[in-house]
Copies of this chain bind each other. A is one copy, B any other.
Amino acid sequence: MNPLLREIRHNPLLWLLAFVPVVFAAEALAPDAHTLLFVLSVLAIVPLAALLSHATESVAAKTGDAAGGLLNATLGNLTELVIALAALRAGQYMLVKASIAGAIVTNTLFMLGASFLLGGLKHHVQEYNRASARLQAGLLFLATVALLIPSAVGAADATERAPFIHTLSVGLAVLLIVAYGLGLLFSLKTHRELFGSAEHAEAGEAPWPLGLALGTLAGVTVVVALVSEVFVESVQQAAEAFGMTPAFVGFIVVALVGGAAEMASAFSGARKDRLDLSVGIALGSASQIALFVAPVLVLLSYVLGPAPMDLQFWPGAVVMILIATLTASLVTNSGRSAWFVGVLVLMMYLIFATTLYLLPPRVQ
């Protein structure tokens, strides 16, 4: 039997793929039913993200270690990137920035906290490799701080500074991508023994044949891009219908939808007492958003967007990102976890979400 079909049969998450044609049908029939289109597109993106993730890992497993690791690292946040690109093309820069900030905060707080909680409910105290967690938390801190410099310095001095911020954003985007490239060299070549990326693919899941994997990768990316456009078009009005602020949608909804596939891996690792894996996915994915996705979006805004996008976030987002990465550093510092650590990290995420939900729209 076709491995793709077998995978779909065995993985209930993938049954949601049925919503993909429904989205396109609904858009053709009722292009103004924004709330319906929003719900359908969310339901369609989640299984597509899971397929993308599996296809990427299969290609990585076939192409060998170095190239495979590179592919895994680059395409690991492909869903987030494709959604953000759709928002970029529509000129919705506030949504793009909220989704960048939200992906960092969601990966560090929600993914990490839920892993600690799920793992802690099954295991009394979980120990994990402190040295590599510290190294990754340090990299994440440096990556996010680099991303935040324009906001921090710019926000501190409120004068006319549009051209300054744009030049600075492009300069930083280039520096961040260089750092990302060197980071790949480090984690895939010179110091690969410090990172457990080879363990990423679960033993139980057989990789697909290369042709199928490449085809799925290409085909699903196109479908995700098409669904993302429906999502981005409908999200604003649907948010209003649900009483959600745009900041809440970008920060929380987009981030949870885009990261669903990685969360499934991280949570499964935590339940199996392999917290190293969960911490690695959560912190690595957040670093990748800061070092790769965000600068790529800045540079692409000059080509694809109606106007250049800068790297200046609203002050509340800066505070949340800094607190999230500091929390990740402090919490992974001891190399031990128990359920209440997860509760507190999740509580912080819940507090952020509540704040964003209640925030008067004008403020953001």
Which residues of A are at the interface with B, using a C-beta cutoff of 8 A? 124-125, 130-131, 134-135, 137-139, 141-143, 145-146, 149-150, 152-153, 156-157, 159-161, 164, 167-168, 171-172, 175, 178-179, 182-183, 185-187, 190-191, 194, 314-316, 318-320, 323, 326-327, 329-331, 333-334, 336, 338-341, 343-345, 347-348, 350-352, 354-355, 358-360, 362-364
Contacts and interface: CB of A to CB of B under 8 A. Distances in A.
Nearest to A137: B330
A212 to B, nearest CB: 35
A348 B146 contact: yes
Contacts of A145: 323, 327, 348
Given A153-B319, A314-B157, A352-B149, A142 B175 contact: no
Contacts of A161: 360, 363
Given A175-B347, A333-B333, 8 more contacts: A130-B334, A131-B336, A153-B320, A157-B314, A159-B360, A168-B358, A182-B340, A186-B340
A319 B151 CA distance: 11
A157 to B, nearest CB: 4
Contacts of A331: 138
A150 B354 CA distance: 10
Interface centre among A124, A331, A363 (most CB of B within 10 A): A363
A168 B352 CA distance: 10
Given A153-B316, A348-B142, A363-B159, A131 B164 contact: no
Contact of A344 (B142, B327, B340): B142
Given A159-B363, A161-B363, A343 B179 contact: yes
A54 to B, nearest CB: 29
Given A145-B323, A182-B340, A339-B190, A330 B168 contact: no
Contacts of A358: 164, 167-168, 171
Q: Is the interface of A mostly helix, strand, loop or mixed?
A: helix
Contacts of A362: 159
Nearest to A343: B182
A250 to B, nearest CB: 15
A235 B104 CA distance: 42
Contacts of A179: 343-344, 347
A326 B344 CA distance: 17
B182 A355 contact: no
A153 B344 contact: no
Contacts of A183: 340, 344
A330 B338 CA distance: 21
A157 B164 CA distance: 22
A186 B338 contact: yes
A142 B354 contact: no
Contacts of A171: 354, 358
A141 B327 contact: yes
A338 to B, nearest CB: 5
Contacts of A319: 152-153, 156
B191 A338 contact: yes
